[in-house]
Amino acid sequence: MSDLAYLTLGWIHDYPVSAILVGVVAGLVLLFLARRMAHRLLLSVARQLRGLLRHLAAAVDAARRGLAERNTRVRRALAVDRTEERLARSLNGMEALVEREFGHFPELQRRLNDAIAEQEREYEASSTPPPLPAAWGEATEAVAAVSDRGDGTTADMLARIRQSLERSEDRALRRHRREFRRRQRRLRALLPLWRRVQASLDAVRGRIRTLEERGRHIDGLWHSYQGLLEAGDGMDRQLNLSALVRFFINGGAVAVLVLIAAAHMAVATFPLQEVVGAGNQLGPWSAASVAAAALVGMAILGGALILESARFTRLLPQLDSLEGGGRRSLLVVGVVLVVATALLGAVLGYLHQAVEAEVASLAAEAGGLQPSRPGVAATVIHMLLGLIFPLALAVALLPLEGFVQATRVVAGLLAEALLTLLALALRWLGNALVALARVLTRLYDAVIFLPLWIQGRLNRRRPAPPSGEQIEGSATA
């Protein structure tokens, strides 16, 4: 180490205050000399970071727009699928209604035509006028009116002919009246037929009205379908609101079903301990709990088979390729599973109360007390709960499907909102960094305020340069 360094260290040791003052002054001078460079460095770094953050925000915005387009496609696709399913179900229902209600329409039309033809024949026959007297009766009357000229035989013969003709006409008239009364009775006998025809026509009118209502419903679905295919911003907002409503409604239903499953497991676990053994374990769970969970799963599986076979849900796309026979087989299997789990749940509910009563009886005998008999109401309630819980779990797939579909839309909306907030946060952070750099430059100037003040005083005392030099200096600057 040189002598100058020894002298400097000795001086600092002997005069520490003076050394500190000299160091502060030297530091202020160095900071003053590096002021412009430090300002530029701080502002440049802040602006570079702001630019980087803006680029990141633009990338996040692009991702948000892509996600928004995807969410729009998903929402519209789900809405179109639901509308197509409703349309197909309505059209199938109308086809079944037409086949069921109007399949016998040709037979009804034939019966109506036969009845109308028979009515026309009877009406025409009943309206036939009575038989007229014979045409040669007038000639006989003219002959009878001629004087007999004393010949009584001729007059008597003509009188007999007249009487015979009158009797013949009277018999014909009575026969006509009998036929008329008979036809009238037949017409009156046809009144029930007319009433049945009227009832059939009223039924046909009601069926046609039902078809008209179905047609109007299908027209509304078709207009909704066209609106979805030509959807705009208003339709997107409506679909978002519908998805949120379905999310909360189906979510509440799923939560209720989860509680039902937990309650069913609680009811079934206790009596199953007597069946599978209370001490048996399957890993960290007891065998009774696993068996109760299996019963819950069987009820849900049976309900899923029923709903999928009846095309109420479409969570299992593998079943779409099945034809009528396969679907009917799965439907029968699902019904058997649901009924079996419901009956087994009722039996377990009865066993639950019986086991509890037995345990209470043993405890009472051990304590020297009189054991109490189990209540019938509690037993019935346990059996009803064991019977109803599997039936309720059988429809779990309906709200679950709606919840899954609505969750896709709601998750997309939440991700879109988070990306929007992230882009805003990145832009705000970039602007905050520039503002922080400006604050740091002000703090920098505050630290070296004394040299800056001296510089300002010197600049004010310096005489102003001539106008030409000032202009030249400005241009140079």
Q: pLDDT by residue (tens digit) across 158-206?
A: 677 777 777 777 787 788 778 777 777 776 766 776 777 777 777 777 7
| CA 305 to each of CA 245, 313, 324, 392, 397: distance values in angstroms, whole numbers, following the listed order | 27, 10, 14, 15, 10
Spans of all domains in the chain: 233-395
Query: 73 or 125, which is more confident?
Result: 73
**Quick check: 310 and 354 in contact, CB under 8 A?**
no
Dihedral in degrees, nearest 10, Cα atoms 72, 73, 76, 80: 180
Q: pLDDT tier at 473 (50, 70, 90 boundaries)?
A: very low
pLDDT score of 21 more than 50: yes
Sort 448 into a burial class: Cβ within 10 Å, 0-12 / 13-18 / 19+: buried
What share of the chain has pLDDT > 70, as a percent? 72
Predicted local confidence at residue 366, as pLDDT: 64
**Quick check: 207 and 102 in contact, CB under 8 A?**
yes
**Quick check: 253 and 399 in contact, CB under 8 A?**
yes
H helix intervals, 34-104:
35-102
pLDDT score of 282 more than 50: yes
The predicted model gives 368-387 an average pLDDT of 72
Sort 371 into a burial class: Cβ within 10 Å, 0-12 / 13-18 / 19+: middle
Predicted local confidence at residue 424, as pLDDT: 92
pLDDT score of 458 more than 70: yes
The predicted model gives 403-408 an average pLDDT of 86
**Residue in the block written with tokens 């026959």:** 125
pLDDT for 225-238, tens place per residue? 666 666 655 666 77
Predicted local confidence at residue 468, as pLDDT: 47
Structure tokens that stand for 69 in this block: 């387009």
Q: pLDDT tier at 422 (50, 70, 90 boundaries)?
A: very high
pLDDT score of 16 more than 90: no
Predicted local confidence at residue 172, as pLDDT: 78
pLDDT for 305-341, tens place per residue? 888 887 777 777 777 667 767 778 888 888 899 899 8
Predicted local confidence at residue 155, as pLDDT: 66
Predicted local confidence at residue 55, as pLDDT: 92
* Least confident interval from 11-25, 81-95, 257-271: 11-25
SS3 132: coil
Predicted local confidence at residue 477, as pLDDT: 31
What share of the chain has pLDDT > 90, as a percent? 6
Q: Over the chain, what is the mean pLDDT?
A: 75
Predicted local confidence at residue 331, as pLDDT: 85
Predicted local confidence at residue 114, as pLDDT: 75
Q: pLDDT tier at 475 (50, 70, 90 boundaries)?
A: very low
Q: At 215, which amino acid appears?
A: G
Query: 31 or 234, which is more confident?
Result: 31
- Please give the full DSSP string across 141-207, using - where no structure is assigned: HHHHTS--TT-HHHHHHHHHHHHHHHHHHHHHHHHHHHHHHHHHHHHHHTHHHHHHHHHHHHHHHHH
